[in-house]
């Protein structure tokens, strides 16, 4: 038993010293080599950027800016300000700009929608848990009310108490009048 524990301690120490590339036979070797390191980014920061971008693209301000840009582009292309023709085939470059914008906007909008869907899923799960707790509380309260009704059913009512008291009062009246009758009969 002590030997097994010592062997386990030695294995843990070997793994700590040598890292993931240990000499153990039951652990596969990491054969990947990193030629070009992958860029790292903060997914939350990028997601927040995507959400802000998607929100901006869905505003009237964005539509106004885009309309102004397109109007200027078309006017400049049609009038050819100062004889400069930067777009020799009319509106091809504008079409390229729109395609580029769409190719970047679509994934960013999808990312924002996925993040919103995740938040909605968490909110829905919280709502389901709250509803389950509320249902359990309602069932508990319904059982308590039912037990109170059963207990109240066994409690004497006001009419019952009055009738019992009248009966006792009449018995007392009979007893109080009957000894005087007994004493008057005895005196005769």
Q: Is residue 102 part of a domain?
A: yes
Question: What domain range is 96 assigned to?
Answer: 43-153
Would you say residue 10 has pLDDT above 60?
A: no
Q: Whose CA is closest to 47, among 142, 113, 94, 137?
A: 113
The full DSSP string for 19-38 is TT--S-TTS-------SSPP
pLDDT score recorded for residue 161: 85
Asked if residue 136 is part of any domain, the answer here is yes
Q: Of the candidates 113, 108, 61, 71, which has an alpha carbon nearest to the alpha carbon of residue 91? A: 71
Average pLDDT, the chain: 80
Task: Report the alpha-carbon distance of residue 88 to residue 74 in Å, rounded.
Answer: 13
What is the three-class DSSP state of 40?
A: coil
Name the domain count of the chain: 1
- Residue 159's pLDDT is 84
Q: Per-residue pLDDT tens for 52-90?
A: 888 888 888 999 999 999 898 888 877 776 666 667 777
Instruction: Answer yes or no: is 22 within a domain.
Output: no
Residue 76 lies in a domain: yes
**Which pTM value belongs to this model?**
0.47
Residues 6 or more apart whose Cβ sits within 8 Å of residue 55: 112
152 membership: H or E segment, kind and range:
helix 92-153
State the Cα–Cα distance between residues 4 and 22, nearest whole angstrom.
19
């Amino acid at each position: 038993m002590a030997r097994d524990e010592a062997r386990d301690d030695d294995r843990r120490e070997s793994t700590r010293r040598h890292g993931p590339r240990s000499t153990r036979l039951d652990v596969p070797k990491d054969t990947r080599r990193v030629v070009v390191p992958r860029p790292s980014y903060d997914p939350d920061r990028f997601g927040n950027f995507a959400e802000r971008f998607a929100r901006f693209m869905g505003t009237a301000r964005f539509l106004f800016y885009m309309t102004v840009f397109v109007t200027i582009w078309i006017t400049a292309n049609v009038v050819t300000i100062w004889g400069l023709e930067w777009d020799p085939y009319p509106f091809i470059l504008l079409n390229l700009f729109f395609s580029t914008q769409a190719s970047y906007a679509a994934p960013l909008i999808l990312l924002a929608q996925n993040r919103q869907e995740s938040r909605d899923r968490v909110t829905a799960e919280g709502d389901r848990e709250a509803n389950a707790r509320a249902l359990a509380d309602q069932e508990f309260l319904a059982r308590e009310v039912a037990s109170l009704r059963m207990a109240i059913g066994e409690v004497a009512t006001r009419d019952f108490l009055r009738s019992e008291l009248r009966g006792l009062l009449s018995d007392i009246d009979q007893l109080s009048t009957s000894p005087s009758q007994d004493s008057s009969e005895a005196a005769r």
